[in-house]
Amino acid sequence: MKRFVVLAGLVMFYLSAVKAQSADKIYDSALAKKLKADDYGMKTYVLVLLKSGRNTSPGKALSDSLFAGHMKNMKRLAAIEKLVVAGPFVKNEKYRGLFILDAAGFEEAKKLLETDPAIQGNLLEPELYLWYGSAALQATFELHHKIQKLEF
């Protein structure tokens, strides 16, 4: 029994070593360059936390119109590969949602956000932060379309 346990341990060690070596072989330099990844596969983004804005009673028709424009704008930003990740928070009093933008910095991010009707109409107010995350996040929307049955 002891031999079996030792043998199983050695097999597990060997398999983990082989897996670690094969990870080096799957590096795709062309993809890393396309995604602007650093040597760690990471890059800097602008993280945008969207909180409720100053316009707290716009009326249903205006609110619906501004949020329809917000959704349309998000699709546009994703299409030009500037919006990397987006989504609402569930049951959060302070924050409504987030964006992760592929922007060179705050100035570019602010220009992108100025195109959002819900931000223009003060229904949402953005807070911006520099964030360091996986460059692979940029593939999120491409993958999302493969698993999405319904449109927003």
Written as tens digits, the pLDDT of the chain (152 aa) is 444 444 444 445 455 555 555 555 799 999 999 999 999 999 999 999 999 999 988 899 999 999 999 999 999 999 999 999 999 999 888 899 999 999 999 999 999 999 999 999 999 999 999 999 999 999 888 888 889 899 87
Distance CA 101, CA 133 (A): 11
Q: 77: burial class by Cβ within 10 Å (0-12, 13-18, 19+)?
A: buried
From the list 55, 28, 40, the residue with the least C-alpha distance to 121 is 55
- Ordered by start, the domain boundaries in the chain are 2-27, 35-147
pTM for this predicted structure: 0.79
Q: Distance between CA atoms of 85 and 24, rounded to whole angstroms?
A: 28
Q: What's the CATH architecture for 35-147? A: 2-Layer Sandwich (3.30)
